[in-house]
Structure 1
Amino acid sequence: MRFLISNDDGYFAPGLAALAATLGRHGEVVVVAPERDRSGASNSLTLDRPLTLRQAANGFHYVNGTPTDCVHLAVTGWLDFRPDMIFSGINHGANMGDDTIYSGTVAAATEGYLLGIPSVAVSLCGKSGQNFATACHVVDGLVERFRARPFGAPVLLNVNVPDIPLPALAGVTTTRLGRRHHAEPVIEARNPRGEAVYWVGAVGAAQDAGEGTDFWATANNLASVTPLSIDLTAYPQLDGVKAWLQP
């Protein structure tokens, strides 16, 4: 198999190296990742300047753009083959619930999906970053399943793995996205010139974290696998909006 890998933590991130080593046991791996941390970049494309692609000493390639730029550049012009799968990660930190809207990790996988390639975003849920091996074990299982039973159409999977030792992992389960409360307020500070600057506040606590959600799964030592859809249409509101627009 042939894999394209990207992330949003940057080409130097330990999770990216762990993912590349894991997928390297299954086939050919090409890494195209951002040159710096682009967490929260979402699905943005760089349209106001050209992009450059360079190669690091470890063989990874890096781009002066967003995670979406990396996948788009690789698939639509730079690679001389079409990947069998695209993986994004392993992110240092969770991407669950509403976080997926902002996540550069999920965005890189989304771009692969939009280009017609089965794509998987993988995140390690914890601040310590001590158990990337657990996430790699989950990735191994996903690749083996894909090889044995490939999907008939492109799929976009969002995977979150608790940051725990592998023996503590209770399994892998299919989930839906949970929901968070509103984020905490921005934090005001002063720069050396005395001007007001603002830091984006912390994410809110989980609001919908019931059984079956990604929040519930990881809290119960399960790896969460959520299939994502890109159609943002609010179908239940179509008739209401149609009537509202009538003169």
Structure 2
Amino acid sequence: MKILISNDDGYQAPGIVALHDALKTIADVEVVAPEHNNSAKSNALTLHSPLYVHEAANGFRYVNGTPADCVHIALTGLLGYKPDLVVAGINNGANMGDDTIYSGTVGAAMEGYLFGIPAIAFSQVDKGWGEIEAAAHKAREFVQQLEAGKHFGGVPWLLNVNIPNMPVDALKPMRVCRLGRRHAAERVIEQQSPRGDTMYWIGSAGAVFDEAEGTDFHATSHGHLSMTPLKVDLTDHERVVYWGQALQQSGKEAA
């Protein structure tokens, strides 16, 4: 099995190092990751400035771009082959509920999925890298489980996995969940620069709004790993007919 690894915390982050060390024992792995932290870059691609690829002493390759840039470059020429799996992470903090829309970790995995390759985004629930080796162990275990179940080679899929910061023995079995929801983000933070200009910092993420049983928030708060299958189709299929009828009716009324 050949695995491409990327992340959004940067190629030197403890999460990607732990993930690489865990997966290299079961597969041929290559790392192509951002040079610097690119959290919340989602699926952004760099189109108006050049991208450069460098190699670190440990063999990791890093790019002066976004997580999606890294995977895109790797799959369109850098690797020279199509990997069996794209894995992103392990992220420093949760990517649950609304977070997945903004997540650079999920964006990296999604880029692989868009190229027809199965992909997984791994994140730890709490920041700080606590119990990162346990998280990496569980990531390797999950990939092995998928390989044993012969889930590679068919229709591509995209999975979002969150792992509580707990020792391996304390972690409870994985649950398949839907995404929860958050309240709107906190108010923007205003500050004055040394030159007297007003600076703005994006506020903190909103508090959890929907953490009902069956959500990723509920599962991880009870010590379970959460896994949510994601899709890219943003079409509101339930409202297609409604809007077709609404526009038809408004057109008649305008006439």
Q: Which has the larger radius of gyration?
A: 2
Q: For residue 222 of structure 2, what is the amino acid of its counterpart?
A: N
**Deviation by residue 1:84-122 (Cα, 9 ceiling, x = unmatched):** 111000001000000000000000000000101110000
2:173 to 168, 171, 174: 171
Report deviation, 1:134.
Answer: 2.0
Runs (5+) with no aligned partner, structure 2:
none
Question: Aligned residue for 1:202?
Answer: 204
Q: For residue 223 of structure 2, what is the amino acid of its counterpart?
A: N
Distance 1:14 1:106 in 2: 18
> What are the within-5 Å matches in structure 2 for residues 1-247 of structure 1?
1-151=1-151, 152-246=154-248, 247=251
Q: For residue 88 of structure 1, what is the amino acid of its counterpart?
A: A
Q: For residue 212 of structure 1, what is the amino acid of its counterpart?
A: G
Question: What secondary structure, in the 3-state scheme, does the structure 1 residue paired with 2:70 have?
Answer: helix
8 Å CA contact 1:217, 1:223 repeated in 2: yes
Q: For residue 138 of structure 2, what is the amino acid of its counterpart?
A: V
After superposition, the CA RMSD in angstroms is 0.9
Runs (5+) with no aligned partner, structure 1:
none
Question: Paired residues, what number?
Answer: 247
Report deviation, 1:141.
Answer: 1.9
8 Å CA contact 1:189, 1:196 repeated in 2: yes
Matched-pair identity in %? 53
Moved more, 101-110 or 168-177: 168-177
Moved more, 109-118 or 75-84: 75-84
Report deviation, 1:128.
Answer: 2.9
Distance 2:231 2:8 in 1: 20
4+ runs deviating over 4 angstroms: none
Distance 2:4 2:145 in 1: 18
Report deviation, 1:183.
Answer: 0.6
Report deviation, 1:32.
Answer: 0.2
Q: For residue 219 of structure 1, what is the amino acid of its counterpart?
A: S
